[in-house]
Structure 1
Amino acid sequence: MPYQPPTHSVERSLRATTGAKIVAGVDEVGRGAWAGPVTVCAAVTGLRRPPDGLTDSKLLTPKRRLALAGVLESWVTAYALGDASPLEIDELGMTAALRLAATRALDALPVRPEVVILDGKHDYLGDPWKVRTVIKGDQSCVVVAAASVIAKVRRDAMMAELGSEHADFGFCDNAGYPSPVHRAALEELGPTPYHRLSWSYLDTLPKWQHLKRVRVFPEPRTGASLEAGGQLGFDF
């Protein structure tokens, strides 16, 4: 399929139907990793033409992603990042950890968004934020794609720093995600302080199962959300 650049169509629609002038895009990285935080970027871009080649960070080469992030950080109107630590993920569960990281990012913005475009199908953010969910928003929405690239590059850099401390785990290459090198290091050395100890990978490591942390807190309920193409159901 040929490259289809992201557009401002969702942002324009939200402006037209809700009167919102400040629309933020939010995307996360690190959800499926064994180690490291989950990182969320909140970005505001306005309706300016985006840099060439902008798309979902997962579709870019590392070199291109790094170069584009450098451009985006000065091109966006504003951006901020929020993390939830491995311990917070273990104690709260992933949904609540995502909400925590996203709230930290949104609260750190110099402007308060009137609407948040959230990548994916599910609204893990909820009240008091007014949320529009967009499936594959990191490919179709400029503001979400920008957040996607910045979040990925920032978290990869963080994991590369941890890689210098724990070289056997290959964090510089796998960013804490599952890989043969990562699994071999876990089997031999056990988890580091940066690993999520409530995750099922520990079930396959008998030598280290005693370290498993069991989550005891229930997942919170989040607010209603909208998928792309749905009708706005909020009282703005």
Structure 2
Amino acid sequence: MDERLENTCCPEPSLQEEERASARSIFIAGVDEAGRGPLAGPLAVAAVILDPARPIVGLNDSKQLSEAKREALYPLIIERALAYCIVLIERDEIDRLNIFQATMAGMSRAVAGLVPVAHEALIDGNQLPKDLPCPGRAIVGGDALEPAISAASILAKVSRDRVMVTLDGVHPGYGFAAHKGYATPAHLAALQQLGPCAQHRRSFAPVRLLLDQARLF
């Protein structure tokens, strides 16, 4: 089974969508990620341009929403946004770049994948990617302050959670569907017993230490 899932951007806009978009002078994208901290699985990054004519009630930082609420909001964002793009950064690229650089790369790719293009990107956090394809602003706590960033956080979180549920079937025994790759006691115990699988991030300390111990013995 191919574990790599394609990145997702919204399709080319229809003529009506283009006409509506052209009536606006500025497109502002919200950008956020999910999965910087886990020991396993991809990083998900999303960029969203919301449509003021089609508001979405209930947007908030994805971490403040229940799983059921995130799942309910996800299709509304997909349907009503002027543009969205979801990018997955796989485990091998995370290990090659490091998690910070992988996050910056994912944000740039997500913004670059938007159609129509964004005139400005609002980034959750305190750092901006150097190769962002448009001007940007970093906003600490932006996922709870800016609706577009909230929408991006929901798309990223739901997309990544779905990937981890799929990977649970590919790599049974680790509990990916339950903890989504985070370093819970159950995950650490399974990692100790089974050793790392192909989805575990070699550059993260608990995984690296196990691999180093295995080389010694």
Interval of TM-score (by shorter of Structure 1 and Structure 2): 0.7 to 0.9
Q: Deviations over 1:193-226 (max 9, x none)?
A: 1111011113553xx32579xxxxxxxxxxxxxx
The TM-score normalised by the length of structure 1 is 0.76
Match of 1:13 in 2: none
**Secondary structure in structure 1 of the residue aligned to 2:33:** strand
Query: Would the aligned equivalents of 1:50 and 1:142 in 2 still touch at CA under 8 Å?
Result: no
Alignment of 1:112-131 (within 5 A): 112-131=117-136
Deviations 1:132-160 (A, max 9, x none): 11111111101100111111001100110
Q: Using structure 2 for the length normalisation, give the TM-score.
A: 0.82
SS at match of 2:160: helix
For 2:69, the aligned partner's letter is: R
Q: Residue 56 of structure 1 aligns to which amino acid in structure 2?
A: D
Alignment match of 1:153 (pick from 155, 158, 166) = 158
For 2:32, give the aligned amino acid.
Answer: D
Name the residue aligned to 1:184: 189
Distance across 2 between alignment mates of 1:121 and 1:153: 23
Ranges in structure 2 where 5+ consecutive residues have no aligned partner: 1-23
Counterpart of 1:209, as a letter, is D
| 1:201 and 2:201 are equivalent in the alignment | no
The alignment covers a number of residue pairs equal to 192
Is the 8 Å Cα contact of residues 26 and 119 (structure 1) preserved in structure 2? yes
Distance 1:46 1:126 in 2: 26
Q: How does 1:1-236 map to 2 (within 5 A)?
A: 21-48=26-53, 50-202=55-207, 204-205=209-210, 208-209=211-212
CA distance in 2, matches of 1:144, 1:211: 42
Correspondence for 1:11: none
Fraction of identical pairs, as percent: 35
CA drift of 1:106 comes to 1.9
**Separation (CA, whole Å) in 2 of partners of 1:33 and 1:124:** 21
Distance 2:61 2:184 in 1: 22
8 Å Cα contact 1:163-1:169 kept in structure 2: yes
The answer on whether the counterparts of 1:26 and 1:117 sit within 8 Å (CA) in structure 2 is: yes
* Residues in 1 aligned to 2:109 and 2:214: alpha-carbon distance in whole angstroms: 29
CA RMSD for the aligned pairs?
A: 2.0
